[in-house]
Amino acid sequence: MSKYVLSCFALFGLVLYCFALTGCDSDTVATGPVEMETRIIERDKSELVRAEVRMGAGELNVRGGAQKMLEAEFRYDVPQWKPQLRYNATGFRGILTIEQPSGRKVSGNAICGWNLRFNDDTPLDMIVNIGAGQADLDLGSLSLRSMEVNIGVGEVKMDLRGTPKHDYDVTIQGGVGEATIQLPRGVGVVADAHGGIGEINAHGMRKRGSRYVNDLYDNAKVIVHLDVKGGIGSINLYAN
């Protein structure tokens, strides 16, 4: 079977996946006036926070610099896409969920954009799931423990440049699209990068077996571990 046929099967499967994720059916709903909404989660005594972001389709921007635990701005023109935000603290751990509700198929071009700012000092495990769209993740100032991104169709831009004080893991699973990751320069970096149909470009890194490492990897006290899997598209790593 040719790569072209395989890519068609992969694309068809991802399209079905995105419809399932957004809960589309045969009925359609029209867009309305653009709604703007601001939400804040105050800092509490939680020693770490697990944040999960679920967006069926849209543009997601995540960065640090918040005074509160979370400062969020939402923009959308489909009423059914009003985001649901839940936060619960259980003992030393907080659990935060931000979700785009499932809705019907939208007629016309819809608008959905989320800007999320997290507190830099709060230890954070983050999971981002996007069916279709773009994720712009500027995470270098955050106190990450782990980061996981799953995107069906679209583009991931991740900037990890900063001064992490401890090891952390980053996992990116892409379907159809491109992943570009800017890596921190003062720590060791090791990356497992696998592309289905596409290319892997590792700038400022060298191949060691099946992995890519930067010059600091062998002697660094802090290591950032990446596991990047792309379906159809390119993976771009920048360590220089």
217 to each of 81, 142, 224, how far by Cα in Å?
A: 43, 21, 9
- The answer on pLDDT for 162 being more than 90 is yes
Q: Which residue has the tokens 């890194």?
A: 205
- Based on its alpha-carbon atoms, the radius of gyration of the chain, rounded to whole angstroms, reads 19
Where along the chain do its domains lie?
3-25+34-238
Structure-block tokens of residue 196 = 């289905």
- Bigger pLDDT: 7 or 29? 29
In angstroms, rounded to a whole number, what is the distance separating the alpha carbons of residues 41 and 57? 24
- The answer on pLDDT for 4 being more than 70 is no
Instruction: Give the pLDDT band of residue 27 (cuts 50, 70, 90).
Output: low
Distance of CA 110 to the CA centre of its chain: 21
In angstroms, rounded to a whole number, what is the distance separating the alpha carbons of residues 145 and 156? 20
- The answer on pLDDT for 133 being more than 60 is yes
pLDDT in tens, 185-196: 899 999 998 877
The confidence score (pLDDT) of residue 30 equals 78
For residues 14 and 176, the answer to whether their CB atoms sit within 8 Å is: yes
pLDDT in tens, 88-119: 998 899 999 999 987 656 756 889 999 999 99
In angstroms, rounded to a whole number, what is the distance separating the alpha carbons of residues 223 and 56? 32
